[in-house]
Amino acid sequence: MSKPRILVARAVFPEVITRLEQHFEVESNPTDEAWSKPQLIARLKGKQGAFTTGGDRIDAEVLVACPDLKICANMAVGYNNFDLDAMTTAGVLATNAPDVLTETTADFGFALLMATARRITESEHFLRAGKWSQWSYDMFAGSDIHGATLGILGMGRIGQGIAKRGAHGFGMKVIYHNRSRLDAALEADCKASYVSKEELLRSADHLVLVLPYSAESHHTIGAAELAMMKPTATLVNIARGGIVDDAALAAALKDRRIAAAGLDVFEGEPKVHPDLLSVPNVVLTPHIASATLPTRMAMADLAASNLIAFFEGKRPPTPLNPSLLATK
């Protein structure tokens, strides 16, 4: 009996390819080329499965062109590259890679918060440019983290991890807003208080965005929301590009209507809004919040496990549209 055919759409750990080859006929992408949609379709035709990353768009056009496709396993917790409704209609299972990156991403979110509040990138650029000639009392004076008010928009596992780091490690007052309130035990564990979105924006000294991207969350933070924030506040986005209106944020940073921002994700990435590149009071990183070798390996292994389980007739660990499994 022939093995199922799968496509690994981007370069991944060789050990993971070796593992997949024990179960599948694998077409991989060792040069890590970012394919256009027509190129992706050409390679997906005749494949029963796909190992994807957040940049590989699976939508109705792709699904119509690739009728043999049965499952797409995303090596990411986010899945806004999937048209989940279209995949469900087409009978294509979608899976993601949650949980394994929670603590690593929370670590990075807090690191980005600290770099933003303490103006680390801005001061490093100053030093590297040879501009440091003497000490002054207000040179790159930023804002305190300890004892400050930490606001979190989106209180899933990563948001909870950031809350615990702030409350337990830095004595911060933690407030949050979420679609649904946490139960009392979780709130107590995070030392976090639920507030309205408006109160969150007005009260936070440091606001961290950790909500999933959807049509409803597009531009959750725009000009109106930025105007509610303190002029001394910082904004950190480790969620998804599109949650923040990058043009509006760049304007607010330029006019010092907020103090600073730290961004790991962007609208239209890998392109970055040019106005964000011209303001000094922003820390920019290229979508690396989960980028430690152990975590990325765990993400890849989970995506592989989803594919293997599916074709062995078992329940994949992390399905996104599990109603399809009930019909099998």
Choice among 27, 61, 103, 269 that is catalytic:
269
Phi, psi of 35 (to 5 degrees): -75, 145
Q: At 149, is the secondary structure helix, strand, or coil?
A: strand
Q: Do 81 and 177 lie in a common domain?
A: no
Check whether residue 233 and residue 315 sit in a common domain.
no
CATH number for 263: 3.40.50.720
- Within 10 Å of residue 152's Cβ, how many Cβ atoms? 30
Backbone φ and ψ for 129, nearest 5 degrees, come out as: -80, 0
Confidence of residue 328 (pLDDT cuts 50, 70, 90): low
C-alpha atoms less than 13 angstroms from C-alpha of 154 in its C-beta half-sphere: 23
260 and 210 within one domain: yes
- For 58, 140, 236, the CA distances from 230, given in Å and listed in that order, are 40, 19, 14
Given 57, 157, 202, 287, the catalytic residue: 287
17/96 same-domain check: yes
| Same domain, yes or no: 41 and 172 | no
Pairing state between β 206-209 and 25-27 = unpaired
Residue 248: both structure tokens together: 């509006």
| Residue 287 appears among annotated catalytic residues | yes
pLDDT at 1 over 80: no
Count other C-beta atoms under 10 Å from residue 65's C-beta: 15
Using alpha carbons, select from 16, 66, 8, 4 the residue that is nearest to residue 33.
Answer: 8
- For residue range 22-69, what is the model confidence (pLDDT) as tens digits? 999 999 999 999 999 999 999 999 999 999 998 899 999 999 999 999
- Quote the pLDDT of residue 255: 98
Q: 75, 15, 26, 21: which is closest to 49 by C-alpha? A: 26
Residue 202 and residue 151: Cα distance in Å, rounded? 10
242-300 confidence digits (pLDDT tens):
999 999 999 999 999 999 999 999 999 999 999 999 999 999 999 999 999 999 999 99
Helix (H, G, I), strand (E, B), or coil: what is residue 296?
helix
Task: State whether 259 and 140 are in the same domain.
Answer: yes
- The question of whether 240 is a catalytic residue gets the answer yes
Residues 202 and 185 in one domain: yes
Q: Residue 276's closest CA among 236, 246, 255, 237?
A: 246
* Same domain flag for 96 and 111: no
Share in percent of the chain as helix, strand, coil (round to 5): 40, 15, 45
Burial (CB count <10 Å: 0-12, 13-18, 19+), residue 136: exposed
pLDDT tens per residue, range 129-176: 999 999 999 999 999 999 999 999 999 999 999 999 999 999 999 999
Q: Shortest CA distance to 203 belongs to which of 211, 212, 192?
A: 192
Q: 66 and 6 in contact (C-beta within 8 Å)?
A: no
User: Same structural domain for residues 279 and 194?
Assistant: yes
52 and 23 in one domain? yes
Angle at 263 between CA 260 and CA 267, to 5 degrees: 120
Per-residue pLDDT at 327 = 59
- At 326 the pLDDT is 80
- The whole-number average pLDDT for the span 102-113 is 97
Q: Own/partner pairs for 1-7, CB < 8 Å, 24+ apart?
A: 4/48, 4/49, 4/311, 5/46, 5/47, 5/48, 5/49, 6/47, 6/48, 6/49, 6/50, 6/51, 6/307, 7/43, 7/44, 7/47, 7/49, 7/50, 7/51
Domains held by the chain: number? 2
Domain membership of residue 300 as a residue range = 5-100+293-326
In the set 240, 267, 273, 296, the catalytic residue is: 240
Strands 49-52 and 5-8: what pairing?
parallel
User: Catalytic residue at 165?
Assistant: no
Q: Are 129 and 209 within one domain? A: yes
Q: What percent of the chain has pLDDT over 90?
A: 95
